[in-house]
A = this chain, B = another copy of it.
Amino acid sequence: MNAVSDQPGMASTQSRLLAERLRQSVLDGGFAPGTRLNEVHLARSLSVSRTPLRAALQTLAGEGLLHHTPNRGFTVPALSLGTIIDAYEMRALAEGLAARFAAERGITDALRLQLEASLAEGERSLASDAADGERRRLYAEANEAFHGAIQEAAKSDLVKDVLRICQRVPQTSAHNIVAFELADMRERHAAHQRIYEAIICREPREAEQQMRQHVLSVKMSMARWYTSHLSSASSSTSRQPREPETSGLPQNKRTRRGR
């Protein structure tokens, strides 16, 4: 009955794969904020049964990426600008701590190489005369690699979890916006280099301080961009009574005859 058996690459279980896919979808803004996820339709559209789907949804709800209401199911929360700014504030502290740990504990050669590679990649993306969108994509990639490497170097599951929570902001997620103007990107790149040096030199306080400033400056750029571009749209006060607006697939026909 199962189509894919004895496949070597198939390490994980269905629920986990689903959780991964859905997490990605939610973070990428695949579902409109406030959307109500219909289990039956979602299951059909993903070609799975409800059981593993629910498993995935429960997990995501535990992670705080979805909200659950007892007899109404799962919804993707709508975040206000204030919430997003708070998240950056928290993230500045958490990433700062990660940088501090990395500096305190020292990093493996592999991670040092990854850091250097991401810096080089960022440099290249800034130097290239590629189209603006393409440059941005490249830089976003380098940026993610840089921060990822530091989080790894921190060697703390807890810090990683906290950062996951801080970045559970749909739409605004790191790799979507990241760098807003070329000048901003240059500034960020310089900050990355300072952070790298502080870590290599094993200077915890300096690394933490630099990282905090860096993230807070990203916060500023984001807020500026957000207010000037979106302003009105999707600025709801988190979990206010919003209209259902279900999703997961069509909810079309509703044919009935009188009693």
* Residue pair B159, A162 in contact (C-beta under 8 Å): no
Please provide the chain A residues from 1 to 49 with a CB less than 8 Å away from any CB of chain B in the complex: 11-13, 15-16
Scoring A residues 90 to 112 as 1 if CB is less than 8 Å from chain B, else 0, what string do you get?
10011011000100000000000
| Copies assembled | 2
Chain B residues lying within 8 Å of A156, measured Cβ to Cβ, are 83, 86, 90
State the Cβ distance, A47 to closest chain B Cβ, in Å: 20
Is A61 located at the chain interface by the 8 A CB criterion?
Answer: yes
A165-B157 CB under 8 A given contacts A13-B70, A13-B71, A90-B94: no
Question: In the complex the two chains form, what is the Cα distance from A90 to B154 in whole Å?
Answer: 12
* Residue pair A83, B162 in contact (C-beta under 8 Å): no
Question: In the complex the two chains form, what is the Cα distance from A87 to B157 in whole Å?
Answer: 10
Which one of B58, B61, B158 contacts A165 once the chains associate, using CB atoms below 8 Å? Answer: B158
Chain B residues lying within 8 Å of A245, measured Cβ to Cβ, are none
Chain B residues lying within 8 Å of A16, measured Cβ to Cβ, are 70
Closest partner residue, chain B, to A89 (CB atom): B97
Interface size classification for chain A: 35 or more
Which one of B70, B101, B162 contacts A162 once the chains associate, using CB atoms below 8 Å? Answer: B162
Question: In the complex the two chains form, what is the Cα distance from A158 to B156 in whole Å?
Answer: 19
Question: In the complex the two chains form, what is the Cα distance from A90 to B98 in whole Å?
Answer: 10
* Residue pair B158, A90 in contact (C-beta under 8 Å): yes
* Residue pair A86, B158 in contact (C-beta under 8 Å): yes
* Residue pair B94, A158 in contact (C-beta under 8 Å): no
* Residue pair B86, A238 in contact (C-beta under 8 Å): no
Question: In the complex the two chains form, what is the Cα distance from A166 to B157 in whole Å?
Answer: 11
Question: In the complex the two chains form, what is the Cα distance from A225 to B72 in whole Å?
Answer: 47
11 new A-B pairs (CB below 8 Å) besides A86-B156, A94-B162, A162-B162? Answer: A11-B70, A13-B71, A16-B70, A58-B58, A59-B61, A63-B63, A64-B161, A89-B97, A93-B93, A93-B96, A162-B166
Residues of A whose CB lies within 8 Å of any CB of B are: 11-13, 15-16, 54-55, 58-64, 70-71, 83, 86-87, 89-90, 93-94, 96-97, 101, 156-159, 161-162, 165-166, 238
